[in-house]
Structure 1
Amino acid sequence: MLHLRVIVPADRTEDVVRLVEGTVGCTHLAVLPGAARNPAGDMVMFDVAREVGDGLIAELRARGLDEDGAIAVENVDLLLSKRADEAEREAPGEAADAVLWEQLTDATNEESTLSVTYIAFLSLATMIAACGVVLDNAILIVGAMAVGPEFGPLAGFCTALVRRAPRLAWRSLAALLAGFAAAMVFTVLFSLLMDAVGLFSMEQLGGERPNTGFIYAPDWFSFVVAVLAGVAGTLSLTSSKSGALVGVAISVTTVPAAANAAVALSYGEFGQTRGSTEQLLLNLLGIIVAGTLTLLVQKALWAGRRRRPAHPPRR
């Protein structure tokens, strides 16, 4: 269930109340006249099944409440109520399949910001991966994958393509490209420093690396894994099952490929640099294609379900 808290100008309160009462899947409606001070208005609160949340939020926005009032949406972790159980049964579809597009856009927009923190996390992840590729240590590679924050801009770009939001698309693309460029520059400097103190060597990079050699040797399996990870990552975002993102992060070779390219570049090993860059681009492409297609399929499926007649609310 979702909990909505809406500040409504007093002259539109009755209209909003009628909307909520006439929407299948809504319950626990409460109206507090004159409770809001900034902006001034009435406070309307209610719970709604996730399945109908996106459509209801769109109706509230169409009434201008995001401009003249406020719309706050919260996920309810625990709700013990017979009426809530009935509301969820009456709502069409399944909660896990519903996509809250406004929430998804807001979340990916925040994650797609080219901030100092984002660059720091991506750079640190790339430097950890650099240690992993030189030492041929799979544990360090997995750790670097988990630290990397690059799925945020990737999801933002996919969302922007589906929602036709050019500003979010450019913002996400800038965060992705500039972030990896900055991370690779810092990793080149890190590699030179590690070589100067005797912790990295050309022999380690060019020697046998059974655990990490795949990073600079892209193949079709890399693309297939990236596509599967893109689908899983997108589903984890749209269904609010964020725990699955950890598994997605450690299944694709984005950060390790950038790290290997940077270390190889610092030693003038252009063959590995080229192969690692191809691996990076292949993985990014696979995730973007899969994420975009997943969102398009979800949008089409849910639109079809919303067009089906629903049971009237129980009184």
Structure 2
Amino acid sequence: MRIVQVLIPEGKRDSVLAVLDDEKIDYAVWDETGRGEFEALVQFPIPPIGVEPVMARLREAGISENAYTIVLSPETVVSSRLEALKKRYSGLRISREELIARAEDLAPATSTFYAFLVLSTIIATGGLLLNSAATIIGAMVVAPLMGPAISASVGTVINERELASRGIKLQVGGLLLAILVAALIGLLMKGTLLLPPDLDIRSIGQIAERTSPNFLSLFLALGSGLAGAISIMRGSGSTLVGVAIAVALVPPAATSGLGIAWGLYGVALTAGVLVLVNLLAINVSALILFWLSGFRPAEEKAVGHARAAVISRTAVLVVLIAILSIVLALVTYASFQTALVEQQVNQELEIMFEEPEYAEAGFILSGIINVDYKPGDILLEIIVDHIPTVPLQKKPVIVGFIVGYQAGEEIPPDIARIADERLKEATGKEVEVTVGFVVAQQTSY
């Protein structure tokens, strides 16, 4: 429920009260003595979704934008007379006026926004280098990225260009700053006692997750954008949703900066692609949901401009997402192929050493199997070198495994060759096999 307070301009009292009577809304009126251009203050309760249509009728009755309108959210309203209003104005979304106010509140002052974003990036960068998921999530609580994302969509839907422009500028400028800050931190920490010498950041799990983006990343971003829009429209859970949006943006931005610091431009590029895809997906999902929820400009003549802006921006965002999704599709395919090849290699070697020829002679597969088949690495190189005609080059499957055998047993000279042939048939790929042997001892009882 909402409590609306409206200052009535001189000469408009009867027309305003007539609207409220027609809507069967209970109200209270006080004479206004503070300023000459207003003659009364009217206050009335109404469900959140009813604020917008009632205010539209009140504007027609003479309540201009120069008049003060205050919308309050009371803790509790007790009255059986409200049931009729709740049935008439059924729905869960807030009014356009509240939406604008919340969008403006969520986008803090520019200096505050950049200060919190820098602090979030510093914490997230430390979490990435420490491979600490808890630290990264903690950094996201600080990141103020939900406000600009929501502001950009709200401004577009209600034809508030200044609000939309500010949201876009804060998002783009903030993420570029995050990449720069992470790169500077990486350059300062690289080679110091704080990090192991010759550290390969690609071996850090939290960083590796951000350098292999796939379609699951796109779903995360779309879900975050929808959750952000719903939380604003329904007025619940905005803090937690802000964390989800920040998780989709700040860690990959910090990863991109670290890639620049280490001179690993493939890492910087793929993490940057992930940032851009997530940014576009969050904005397009929020934009579409706000429009489908019925939010429109207050002025009827501005609705057409807003519709054109929503359609054009949605089309641009969708096209950009589709183009970048080619990268996601290739990485997803590469990851699937890698997992499939590893599974095929392990299964075939286990079958091979369970056969009587090897099992009866005491040969065992130690379980230490190394499969080096990472088409994603080739993919990164192709992206950097801009060779779209070769989406995924063929790469030999490098297999290394260790075989244990009893002392005194003769090692067959052709294990590597046989394994090579079997694995080539099982995987359908070129294979290079390296076999190590260890003498196994076993006690008997």
- Shorter-chain TM range is 0.7 to 0.9
Determine helix, strand or coil for the equivalent of 2:213: coil
Match of 1:305 in 2: none
Does residue 46 of the first structure (1) align with residue 9 of the second (2)?
A: no
Determine helix, strand or coil for the equivalent of 1:77: coil
1:46 Cα shift? Answer: 1.0
Determine helix, strand or coil for the equivalent of 1:190: helix
Amino acid of the structure 1 residue aligned with 2:45: D
Q: Considering only aligned residues, what root-mean-square deviation do their CA atoms show, in Å? A: 2.4
Amino acid of the structure 1 residue aligned with 2:32: G
1:116 Cα shift? Answer: 0.5
Determine helix, strand or coil for the equivalent of 1:299: coil
- The structure number with the bigger radius of gyration is 2
Match of 2:69 in 1: 71
What are the superposed Cα offsets for residues 3-40 of structure 1, whole Å, 9 maximum, x if unpaired?
A: 1111112311111111122225x33x110012443864
Question: Mind listing any 5+ residue stretches in structure 1 that lack a counterpart?
Answer: 301-315
Match of 1:18 in 2: 18
What are the superposed Cα offsets for residues 93-133 of structure 1, whole Å, 9 maximum, x if unpaired?
A: 22x2x231122123223434561100011111111110111
Match of 1:312 in 2: none
1:245 Cα shift? Answer: 4.1
Determine helix, strand or coil for the equivalent of 1:253: helix
Whether the 8 Å CA contact 2:125–2:254 is kept in 1: the answer is yes
Whether the 8 Å CA contact 1:49–1:91 is kept in 2: the answer is no
- Sequence identity (%): 24
Whether the 8 Å CA contact 1:191–1:200 is kept in 2: the answer is no
Amino acid of the structure 2 residue aligned with 1:268: G
What are the superposed Cα offsets for residues 229-249 of structure 1, whole Å, 9 maximum, x if unpaired?
A: 1111100001111x2541452
1:134 Cα shift? Answer: 0.8
Q: How does 1:296-311 map to 2 (within 5 A)?
A: 296-299=291-294
Whether the 8 Å CA contact 1:2–1:48 is kept in 2: the answer is yes
Does residue 183 of the first structure (1) align with residue 178 of the second (2)?
A: yes
Structure with larger RCO (C-alpha < 8 A, sep 6+): 1
1:280 Cα shift? Answer: 0.5
Change (3 A) 1:114 1:266: farther
Match of 2:151 in 1: 156
Separation (CA, whole Å) in 1 of partners of 2:39 and 2:175: 46
Whether the 8 Å CA contact 1:233–1:248 is kept in 2: the answer is yes
1:203 Cα shift? Answer: 4.4
Match of 2:88 in 1: 91
Structure 1 residues 156-165 or 123-132, which shifts more? 156-165
Separation (CA, whole Å) in 2 of partners of 1:126 and 1:290: 25
Determine helix, strand or coil for the equivalent of 2:71: strand
Match of 1:34 in 2: 32
2:115 to 101, 117, 120: 120
Amino acid of the structure 2 residue aligned with 1:250: A
1:193 to 185, 188, 195: 188
Q: How does 1:264-275 map to 2 (within 5 A)?
A: 264-275=259-270
Separation (CA, whole Å) in 2 of partners of 1:56 and 1:14: 16
What are the superposed Cα offsets for residues 133-181 of structure 1, whole Å, 9 maximum, x if unpaired?
A: 1111100111122221111111111122322332222111111111222
Separation (CA, whole Å) in 1 of partners of 2:288 and 2:240: 21
Q: How many residues align?
A: 295
1:246 to 240, 244, 263: 240
Change (3 A) 1:82 1:254: same
1:227 Cα shift? Answer: 0.7
Q: How does 1:275-290 map to 2 (within 5 A)?
A: 275-290=270-285
1:199 Cα shift? Answer: 2.3
Whether the 8 Å CA contact 2:207–2:255 is kept in 1: the answer is no
Structure 1 residues 274-283 or 165-174, which shifts more? 165-174
Separation (CA, whole Å) in 2 of partners of 1:188 and 1:259: 8
Whether the 8 Å CA contact 2:201–2:207 is kept in 1: the answer is no
What are the superposed Cα offsets for residues 254-276 of structure 1, whole Å, 9 maximum, x if unpaired?
A: 01011111122122221111111
Determine helix, strand or coil for the equivalent of 1:4: strand
Separation (CA, whole Å) in 2 of partners of 1:279 and 1:66: 46
Change (3 A) 1:51 1:271: same
Separation (CA, whole Å) in 2 of partners of 1:204 and 1:247: 34
Change (3 A) 1:204 1:75: farther
Whether the 8 Å CA contact 1:129–1:255 is kept in 2: the answer is yes
Match of 2:219 in 1: 224
What is the TM-score of this pair, normalised by structure 1?
0.85
What are the superposed Cα offsets for residues 61-85 of structure 1, whole Å, 9 maximum, x if unpaired?
A: 4455343321011112211222234
Structure 1 residues 75-84 or 136-145, which shifts more? 75-84
What is the TM-score of this pair, normalised by structure 2?
0.61
Structure 1 residues 250-259 or 199-208, which shifts more? 199-208
